[in-house]
């Protein structure tokens, strides 16, 4: 008996996809990344995102991918980049039209944990070292540096929210930049570990127990507008 998955047809599903029009070949790129994201979400491991599996999911032949990505790793890197963009957007949406500084900070933290919980496999890959592993290889489409920058966006947003708290007297932090890093790491620890062991009996207030001290919030029972 083998652990391998049962053989699946290697050809695209019949009629799954109509060829793009001339000049619109680039559209396939997005479909490839989307297909990779689907596989990642369903299978849950980076290994499952093989070039051939992506092609099957996208309804194209495997070699077609090479028009858009130089190698397999580049697809994963693109997925991660997309994910960071999604995260930034999600965090901004989480803010809504809130204006009260502490409520804004808490909303961003909520949004962060929410993002990780709603697509746990993707979250793991974002911080799984993909861009480290492929740091040596030059990728035409997405460079590892791009990803690093995108992570900075999130950190910057947390720092900005924290700064407003300090200015409004909602936080006693004396070094916003450094405390933002600490807060982010706390959020990351919770988000990451929760994706691994959902069954663990997490204290019900674990989120506040991490956010409030790390952000040096003054009012533990902050208003949420």
Footprint on this chain of its own copies (rule: CB under 8 A): 3, 44-45, 47, 71-73, 124, 127-129, 132-133, 148, 175, 177-179, 181-182, 184-190, 192-193, 195-197, 202-203, 205-206, 209-210, 213-214, 216
Closer to DNA by Cβ: residue 75 or 113: 75
Closer to its own copies by Cβ: residue 11 or 193: 193
Q: Which of 126, 119, 45 is nearest to 84 (CA)?
A: 126
State the binding partner of 17 from its own copies, DNA, none, CB within 5 to 8 A by kind: DNA
- In the three-class reduction of DSSP (H, G, I as helix; E, B as strand; rest coil), residue 213 is classed as helix
* Cα 187 → chain centroid: 13
User: How many angstroms separate the CA atoms of 218 and 121, rounded?
Assistant: 35
User: How many angstroms separate the CA atoms of 30 and 15, rounded?
Assistant: 19
CB of 65 to DNA, least distance (A): 7
Binding residues for DNA, rule: CB under 7 A, are: 1-8, 10-12, 17, 19-28, 50-53, 60-64, 66-67, 71-72
Closer to its own copies by Cβ: residue 47 or 97: 47
Q: How many CB atoms lie within 10 A of CB 14?
A: 7
Q: Which of 121, 103, 101 is nearest to 111 (CA)?
A: 103
- In the three-class reduction of DSSP (H, G, I as helix; E, B as strand; rest coil), residue 136 is classed as coil
Closer to DNA by Cβ: residue 55 or 166: 55
State the binding partner of 123 from DNA, its own copies, none, CB within 5 to 8 A by kind: none
State the binding partner of 44 from DNA, its own copies, none, CB within 5 to 8 A by kind: its own copies
Evaluated on CA atoms 38, 43, 45, 46, the torsion sign reads negative
User: How many angstroms separate the CA atoms of 39 and 125, rounded?
Assistant: 12
* Cα 105 → chain centroid: 19
State the binding partner of 52 from DNA, its own copies, none, CB within 5 to 8 A by kind: DNA
Closer to its own copies by Cβ: residue 34 or 88: 88
User: How many angstroms separate the CA atoms of 54 and 31, rounded?
Assistant: 10
CB of 139 to DNA, least distance (A): 12
State the binding partner of 28 from its own copies, DNA, none, CB within 5 to 8 A by kind: DNA
Closer to its own copies by Cβ: residue 145 or 225: 145
User: How many angstroms separate the CA atoms of 99 and 113, rounded?
Assistant: 21
CB of 51 to DNA, least distance (A): 3
């Amino acid at each position: 008996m083998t652990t391998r998955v049962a053989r699946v047809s290697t050809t695209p599903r019949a009629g799954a996809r109509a060829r793009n029009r001339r000049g619109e070949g680039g559209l396939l790129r997005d479909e490839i990344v989307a297909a990779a994201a689907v596989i990642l979400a369903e299978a849950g491991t980076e290994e499952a995102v093989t070039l051939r599996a992506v092609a099957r999911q996208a309804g194209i032949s495997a070699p077609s991918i090479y028009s858009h990505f130089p190698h397999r790793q580049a697809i994963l890197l693109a997925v991660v980049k997309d994910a960071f963009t999604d995260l930034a957007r999600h965090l901004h949406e989480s803010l809504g039209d809130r204006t009260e500084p502490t409520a804004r900070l808490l909303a961003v933290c909520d949004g962060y944990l929410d993002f990780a919980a709603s697509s746990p496999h993707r979250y793991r890959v974002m911080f799984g070292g993909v861009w480290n592993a492929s740091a040596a290889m030059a990728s035409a489409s997405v460079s590892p540096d791009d990803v690093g920058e995108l992570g900075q966006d999130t950190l910057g947003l947390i720092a900005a929210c924290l700064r407003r708290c300090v200015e409004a007297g909602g936080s006693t932090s004396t070094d916003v930049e450094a405390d933002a890093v600490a807060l982010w790491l706390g959020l990351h620890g919770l988000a990451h570990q929760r994706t691994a062991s959902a069954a663990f009996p997490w204290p019900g207030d674990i989120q506040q127990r991490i956010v409030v001290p790390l952000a040096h919030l003054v009012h533990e029972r902050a208003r949420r507008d």
